[in-house]
Amino acid sequence: MLYKYLKQNIKMISLYITIMILNAVILYFENVDKTAIMYSTSVILYIGIVVVLFGMFRFYKKSKVLERKSIPKKLTPIEEAYVDIINEKVEEIEKLKSENGIKRKEMMEFYTMWLHQVKTPIVALNFLLQEDEVKESANHKELENELFKIEQYVEMVLSYLRMESDSTDYDFEKYCLEDIVKQSVRKYARQFIRKKINVELNNLDMEIITDKKWLLFVIGQVLSNALKYTNEGKIKIYTDVHERLVIEDSGIGIAKEDLPRIFENGFTGYNGRIEMKSTGIGLYLCKNVMKNIGGDITADSEIHKGTKIFINLTKM
């Protein structure tokens, strides 16, 4: 505190010392008695010490008040002017925050409405693809697959908007883990069949407390990635000795240097840059969703051997 006070008042103290020295020098050249000079200098020095001590006491009191993040009751005119300027700036910042909050809310509402509107033609196209004439087309399966991808991207963005919304509610209930996993696998049944990838389910008879909708989203994202980067072999889904849900694929794996960053927003890594299939948002959303529903998600991988995703769940 002493250092701060001296640093703040160094000019005033230096000026006072200079005046004291000049006073002594002038009196000396005026042939004033040395005792009188010493007395005069002592008085000035004493007054100076008293002023400095008083100033330090006031500085200490104000510092303690500021440490409590409050404004001292007694302020100098200059300090009052600074407080007024700060209050004006705070009001400007709050106004900008409010305006930005309104704009962001409007933008979120617009995107949500737009995405719901986009889902309508997707549903219509799905019905059209089930017609006999379309089914006989050589490109039928490819069209189904591409439409499924579009639907997944729309669902991903909708989930992102819901997660960022202040009105998002989580509904926690007791569920059987196996039922949730099977529901998610059924959703991707066509992709498993198209790529000729086997799926193996083991040791999933466990009751958990979770938000089913959001857990389905997480498992779906992990399955989507596993199918995307697995060209042969199988995908295994099971619980390990730590009672974590494990989704293991035999795909291309993740580079060692990329592994610590795969849950970062927008990170695609080597696989995403080479394959041009990654948005870098799926696993980021999974990480945040698991955090919000009281779980966690981690990964382990070896290049050319496959990837394991571990999902920590709240069990009964």
Whose tokens are 């498992």? That residue is 219
Per-residue confidence (pLDDT) for residue 31, from 0 to 100: 80
Q: Model-level pTM?
A: 0.64
Short-list 176, 276, 142, 289, CA closest to 222: 289
Residues 6+ apart with CB under 8 A from 171: 211, 212, 213
pLDDT of residue 316: 42
Q: Which residues pair with 301 in a beta bridge?
A: 307
Q: What is the pLDDT of residue 40?
A: 81
* Ranges of the chain whose pLDDT falls below 50: 316
| φ and ψ of 123, to 5 deg | -65, -40
pLDDT at position 68, please? 61
Half-sphere exposure of 30 (CA within 13 A, CB side): 10
Instruction: Convert 280-293 to b/e letters by CB count within 10 Å (16 or more is b).
Output: ebbbbbbbbbbeeb
**CA 160, CA 157: separation in Å to the nearest integer?**
5
Q: Mind listing the pLDDT tens digit for each residue in 260-284?
A: 999 998 887 776 656 556 677 889 9
